Structure 1
Amino acid sequence: MELDEPATNGKTEGSEKKERGRQETRNKILQAAMDVFSEKGYNDTLVDDITRESSTSKGAFYFHFPSKKAIFEVLLDTLIDRLLAGANQAIDTRHGAVEKIRAALTVVLSTLTRHEKATRLLFVEASGLGKTFDRQVYAAHRAIARFIALHLTHAVEDGSIEPIDCTLTAYAWLGAIHEVLLMRLLENEDRPLSDLVDPLCDLLVKSLQPTSISAPKERYDFSDEP
């Protein structure tokens, strides 16, 4: 996943050039950190490994990030922001609540499977690193679940699917995505993660029950009974 971020405009040509240089260095360090964390794991990664991979200095690293922990947190936040932004863009192009849900799921799954290093960071390396990271990972999962639940709610409200517990369903879907991706990542299979997108998306969407239109059942009126 490319981690480029737009440079901040300066007041002069010289300051703009300097700011662009700083931003490019920051992005190089972020990309290198993701590569090294994914390969070596959080605990075994040193700041020296990141600066070596990015061809930068320790001074440059600490100018942008106060610690290894800080850059790891930035990577997690960046991944989730890009994930939800992509899903929102996909939804804007679709009509109908169920189609919007399918589009969002497809983008989320495609993004996670296309950027295996970033996915490994979120689902493997960030687990079990202590309460601080646990809270951040939970916040990331909650953001995705809330996004799914919101669009499930829209589908219920417009009558596209039968009423369900949207929050529970969203977390169940997220759990399924997590376990399937985790299994594939840990087994290190030769098959690309991308071949999971369509079957997993179909499985989740098919779990929704479309509303059935039927004639209302006749009710017996007991009010005239003697």
Structure 2
Amino acid sequence: MYAALTRQAILDAAAKLFVSQGFDGTSVDDLAHESQLSKGAVYHHFQDKKQIFEEVYRVAAEGVITSVVQATIQPDLIEPWDRANAAVRAAIQTYAAQPDMRSLLRQVVGVLGEERTRALDGEVAMPLIRGLLEELNALGQLQPVDIPITALMVFRLLSESSLAIALSGDPGEQARRVEVSVLTLLSGLRA
């Protein structure tokens, strides 16, 4: 239990510092100081600062997915397309509402590289996207498309949408514009 608490203290400190100071502006000494641990304790739990950032980003991305899942299980959403649209709206609005997530999103490719970022985002988001598409397909509400390819394309569309929100000076307004575009594009998949 102590190890889990120590690890969480490091991640909490890292989330705060990576947002406020950026990855490059944060040292392992800063992480140790902020978490009230020794530098050795930080290295005991993580190989390096990049691994810490990856875990902070993963936790934040999983938080977005949690918001999306909660939006899709509302009792008033009976129709499958309503759930799919609610999922898209929730993802977009979560990025617009969370400045910390937007900060991490602006940094992630520079820290982890594009390939690792895509893989990590895919691990977190693809099961949900694919599941929604498979549900729509099983109910005959999806155009005849290849599900794995379509899931990948929807994933990339949502990834680019979240980045457009993160890079905007007005995330709320950008989210409104992105939502209209994404929902319009996805409506073409409807049977």
So what's the TM-score if we normalise by structure 1? 0.65
Partner Cα distance (1:83, 1:140) in 2: 13
Indicate which of 96, 106, 118 corresponds to 1:138.
118
Moved more, 80-89 or 99-108: 80-89
Contact 2:68 2:87 in 1 (8 A): yes
Contact 1:106 1:197 in 2 (8 A): no
Contact 1:152 1:166 in 2 (8 A): yes
Aligned twin of 1:206: 184
- State the Cα RMSD in Å: 3.0
Change (3 A) 1:36 1:64: same
- Compare relative contact order (CA 8 Å, sep 6+) and give the higher one, 1 or 2: 2
Contact 2:95 2:166 in 1 (8 A): no
In the alignment, does 2:95 pair up with 1:112?
yes
Change (3 A) 1:113 1:140: farther
Partner Cα distance (2:88, 2:45) in 1: 34
Q: Secondary structure at the match of 2:131?
A: helix
How far apart are residue 33 of structure 1 and its match?
1.0
How far apart are residue 73 of structure 1 and its match?
2.3
Q: Secondary structure at the match of 2:109?
A: coil
How far apart are residue 43 of structure 1 and its match?
3.4
How far apart are residue 63 of structure 1 and its match?
4.7
Counterpart AA for 2:88: L
How far apart are residue 44 of structure 1 and its match?
3.7
Change (3 A) 1:195 1:51: farther
Counterpart AA for 1:127: V
Indicate which of 163, 166, 171 corresponds to 2:144.
163
Deviation per residue, 1:92-136 (Å, 9 max, x gap) = 223221111112222222332322222332x33221446xx5453
Aligned twin of 1:151: 132
Q: Secondary structure at the match of 2:144?
A: coil
Aligned twin of 2:107: 125
Q: Secondary structure at the match of 1:127?
A: helix
Q: Percent identity?
A: 24
Partner Cα distance (2:164, 2:4) in 1: 39
Q: Which has the higher helix share?
A: 2
Partner Cα distance (1:107, 1:69) in 2: 29
Consecutive unaligned residues of structure 1, counting only runs of 5 or more, are 1-7, 9-18, 212-226
Counterpart AA for 1:109: I
Aligned twin of 2:17: 36
Contact 2:92 2:175 in 1 (8 A): yes
Counterpart AA for 2:182: L
Aligned twin of 1:98: 81
Aligned twin of 1:15: none
In the alignment, does 2:80 pair up with 1:80?
no
Partner Cα distance (1:22, 1:78) in 2: 15
Q: Number of residue pairs matched? A: 186
User: Which one has the largest radius of gyration?
Assistant: 1
Partner Cα distance (2:43, 2:37) in 1: 11
Partner Cα distance (2:95, 2:67) in 1: 11
Contact 1:38 1:125 in 2 (8 A): no
